Amino acid sequence: MPETTLEVTPALLIPPHLVGQIQSKLAYVDEAIAAARVAESGDRITLALRAAGREGEIEAKVQRVVQEMAQGGIAPRVEILEDHLDRPVSYAADPLAELLARREVYEESTGIFTFGPLMSRLIEYFESRFLELAAHFDAQPYRFPTLMSAEFLDRVDYFRAFPHSLTFATHLREDLDIINQFAEKAKYEGRGLNAPAEFFSQVQALLSPAVCYHLYFSLADHPLPDGQLIATSVGTCFRYESTNLTSLERLWNFTMREVIFVGSKDFVLEHRERSRQFMQAIFEELGLAYRVETANDPFFVGEFRKQAAFQTAFQLKYEIRARLPFKDSTLAIGSYNYHQDFFGRHLGITLPDGKPIHTGCTAFGLERVAYAFLAQHGFDPAAWPVAVREALV
Ligand code: AMP
Ligand code: ZN
């Protein structure tokens, strides 16, 4: 339970386009922060603290985040590629309450949800529609592990860009005494296991934060034989979102279906665009109210300004943002990404002419698609768009 509230007046007025992005970073500023809110007006930050006594220190850290993320930043020009936000919807409540009441979702632990038959059928159906995109491109199927190599993540600078959301896989050190002590004494206490940090091994693997990276890693240090490849895979992804893990909107553990393009710049850009056009017809059949607009990845504080501006300026990321009628906002259910030759350069994957390959991917967050669909169309199949009703009822 929060003990005290801390109001902070940011030294810099937070511009509207950074209100959400700074708010989500405040979760990582101090373990005492239970919740953080940046006012829409950008001139006030309200923090709920778990304990009183360190307000000055916490405020200084908050000011550093604001400074680093907002100083000198110019508002990006958001390009809208498609706007179907006014598509008719028939539901106006947050589906989470109903899903919990029906035991359709169960929160096993913070950000970790199990899904019952309705959510599972919806997810399976939406995924089948995404597989139509994969089939359209004759994408080759791949199966990737849930664990991801720390060595490869280092090679692609992931630790610098997204350190806050990493989830590490570790195990007990190979030591008879440590394993025996753990077996005898391990207990879940308070907010976690009581085992001392020195019992655990060094980190060789993390839980995958994305799907397509596995493909690039598997192609590393070689020329790409035919100079191009289209692949598809589905995988469980992990992004630790701290106190932002408050509903089905943000999960620690979620599932992504990706269609991945590897080849020349023109090949990747053309397929990214063809993906968007193909999906436009499918989203119409699904009756989804959404829009597609330029966006940036949630880089951590120090990297944010430069990287986010670069991504937006070069239109490297388009998000598919579905309407959530109950809160008059939108939620990203997928993205169309172009990484330029970033992975080609860092991983030594080359085209037949020796130049680094380009990559891109179309990614769908399956739990979010189902959640956004229920938020727009509710639980009565009679009110669902025909295609979904016929497939599921
Ligand atoms: P991204 O690679 O960040 O564009 O992620 C692709 C898609 O995965 C997003 O558009 C979301 O639909 C989904 N996604 C990303 N992070 C989360 C999360 N924490 N919880 C649930 N879905 C997520
Ligand atoms: Zn991807």
Q: Where are the domains of the chain?
A: 4-70, 80-163+209-392, 168-199
Report the candidate in 280, 283, 288, 293 with the shortest Cα–Cα distance to residue 88. 288
Mean pLDDT of all residues belonging to the chain: 96
For 305-313, which contacts have Cβ atoms below 8 Å and span 24 or more sequence positions? 305/68, 305/69, 305/71, 305/72, 305/73, 307/161, 308/21, 308/76, 309/73, 309/74, 309/76, 312/76, 312/77, 312/78, 313/76
Instruction: Establish whether domains 4-70 and 80-163+209-392 are of one fold.
Output: no
Decide if 33 contacts 243 (C-beta within 8 A): yes
Q: How many Å lie between the centroid of ligand 1 and the Cα of residue 4?
A: 32
Residue 81 — φ and ψ, nearest 5°?
-90, -30
Average pLDDT over residues 282-286: 98
Class of domain 4-70: alpha beta
Residue 312: in which H helix or E strand, if any?
helix 301-313
pLDDT value at residue 246? 81
* Protein residues with CB under 6 Å of any ligand 1 atom: 210, 239, 241, 250-251, 254, 256, 297, 332-335, 363, 365, 367-368
Decide if 77 contacts 313 (C-beta within 8 A): no
- Categorize the per-residue pLDDT at 369 as very low, low, confident or very high, splitting at 50, 70 and 90: very high
- Categorize the per-residue pLDDT at 92 as very low, low, confident or very high, splitting at 50, 70 and 90: very high
Q: What tokens were used for 10?
A: 């940011």
- Ligand 1: residue of 162, 233, 234, 254 to mutate (most ligand atoms within 8 A of CB) is 254
Q: Rounded to an integer, what is the distance from CA 284 to the centroid of its chain? A: 24
pLDDT value at residue 76? 84
C-alpha count within 13 angstroms, C-beta hemisphere, residue 282: 19
pLDDT value at residue 139? 98
pLDDT digits (tens, 9 = 90+) for 297-343: 999 998 998 899 889 989 999 999 999 999 999 999 999 999 999 99
pLDDT digits (tens, 9 = 90+) for 25-75: 999 999 999 999 999 999 999 999 999 999 999 999 999 999 999 998 778
For ligand 2, an ion, list residues with CB under 5 A.
Answer: 212, 258, 361, 363
pLDDT digits (tens, 9 = 90+) for 151-193: 999 999 999 999 999 999 999 999 999 999 999 999 999 889 9
Say which ligand is closest to the CA of 319: 1
Predicted confidence (pLDDT) at residue 144 exceeds the cutoff of 90: yes
Burial of 287 (0-12, 13-18, 19+ CB in 10 A): buried
- Ligand 1: residue of 213, 247, 250 to mutate (most ligand atoms within 8 A of CB) is 250
- Categorize the per-residue pLDDT at 2 as very low, low, confident or very high, splitting at 50, 70 and 90: low
Angle (CA) 311-315-317 rounded to 5° is 70
What percentage of the chain carries pLDDT values higher than 70?
A: 99
Residue that the structure tokens 């050190």 belong to: 173
Report the candidate in 60, 58, 78 with the shortest Cα–Cα distance to residue 18. 78
Q: How many Å lie between the centroid of ligand 2 and the Cα of residue 97?
A: 31
Q: How many Å lie between the centroid of ligand 1 and the Cα of residue 335?
A: 8
Q: Rounded to an integer, what is the distance from CA 379 to the centroid of its chain? A: 26
Residue that the structure tokens 């995988």 belong to: 235
Q: What is the DSSP letter of 18?
A: G
Class of domain 80-163+209-392: alpha beta
pLDDT value at residue 1? 60
Decide if 128 contacts 220 (C-beta within 8 A): no
Q: How many Å lie between the centroid of ligand 2 and the Cα of residue 199?
A: 34
Average pLDDT over residues 349-362: 97
- Categorize the per-residue pLDDT at 294 as very low, low, confident or very high, splitting at 50, 70 and 90: very high
Q: How many Å lie between the centroid of ligand 1 and the Cα of residue 175?
A: 39
| Among protein residues, the one whose CA lies closest to atom 1 of ligand 1 | 335
Decide if 257 contacts 369 (C-beta within 8 A): no
Residue 98 — φ and ψ, nearest 5°?
-65, -40
Flag the least confident range among 71-75, 84-88, 182-186, 222-226: 71-75
Amino acid at 248: L
Average pLDDT over residues 349-371: 97
pLDDT value at residue 245? 84
Flag the least confident range among 182-186, 240-244, 288-292, 368-372: 240-244
DSSP string, 52-108: SS-HHHHHHHHHHHHHHHHTTPPPP---EEEE-TTS-----S-HHHHHHHTTSEEEE
Decide if 326 contacts 347 (C-beta within 8 A): no
